[in-house]
Chain A
Amino acid sequence: AQKVTQAQTEISVVEKEDVTLDCVYETRDTTYYLFWYKQPPSGELVFLIRRNSFDEQNEISGRYSWNFQKSTSSFNFTITASQVVDSAVYFCALGGAPYYNQGGKLIFGQGTELSVKP
């Protein structure tokens, strides 16, 4: 069975601090995809990044960076120099290869609520 665990329910930081959101996943698939989504107070989910299981390279996009480690089944997300606008709920998600995974389930973690205070 697939599972995504975000152990941090809530995180509170002061603006300009760095913060890392943890994500641990479980899957028996050899091919899979990992995602991060952001849900700001407005409610709509916004796609941030996708990573496939063959690509363990870390990625940096502006103040955001992602660390994917298959050995520990983790896909952590770091925000550098956080800003108040980063306040949101962040979800990690796992999708299996569609060919043999019943056609496309995408499973989400419980979410981490990040509060960045000025």
Chain B
Amino acid sequence: NAGVTQTPKFRVLKTGQSMTLLCAQDMNHEYMYWYRQDPGMGLRLIHYSVGEGTTAKGEVPDGYNVSRLKKQNFLLGLESAAPSQTSVYFCASGYKSTNEKLFFGSGTQLSVL
């Protein structure tokens, strides 16, 4: 069982470059989330989606865009990377609502130089 798969696992960018992180889940989950994890800050919600074709802003959405064109995929884009976006990014998915547990990917380590 694949569960939640994030690609890539590691990436180094230069300031101003763009990239897309891909999250794929094979559990037919409606809800998908992108979080970033920074030392001392815990997990902060960037964007989330409650279904195919929908997206919503989380706690720290600036500098990121997302798309959910297919139910199983949730893409996180950085149009012009900044050093402040150096972080570990986690994708998560959930079946139906926030009363259900989330399944997390293994994370993407992103460094912006």
Contacts and interface: CB of A to CB of B under 8 A. Distances in A.
A and B associate: yes
B33 A106 contact: yes
Interface residues of A, number: 28
Interface in B6-48: 31, 33, 35, 40-45, 48
B59 A98 contact: no
Nearest to A110: B42
B58 interface: yes
Contacts of B100: 50
Contacts of A103: 50, 54, 56
A104 B31 contact: yes
Contacts of B99: 33, 50, 52, 95, 97-98
Given A104-B48, A105-B58, A108-B35, A98 B104 contact: no
B97 interface: yes
A43 to B, nearest CB: 5
B106 A108 contact: no
Interface residues of B, number: 31
A44 B48 contact: no
B106 A96 contact: no
Contacts, number: 73
B102 interface: yes
Nearest to A44: B106
A64 B104 CA distance: 22
A106 to B, nearest CB: 5
Contacts of A93: 43
A66 to B, nearest CB: 14
A91 B37 CA distance: 12
Contact of B98 (A37, A45, A95): A95
Interface in B70-113: 88, 90, 92, 94, 96-107
Contacts of B88: 43
14 contacts: A9-B40, A44-B104, A45-B104, A47-B101, A50-B99, A91-B43, A98-B99, A103-B56, A104-B48, A105-B45, A105-B98, A106-B102, A107-B45, A109-B42
Interface of B: 31, 33, 35, 40-45, 48, 50, 54, 56, 58-59, 88, 90, 92, 94, 96-107
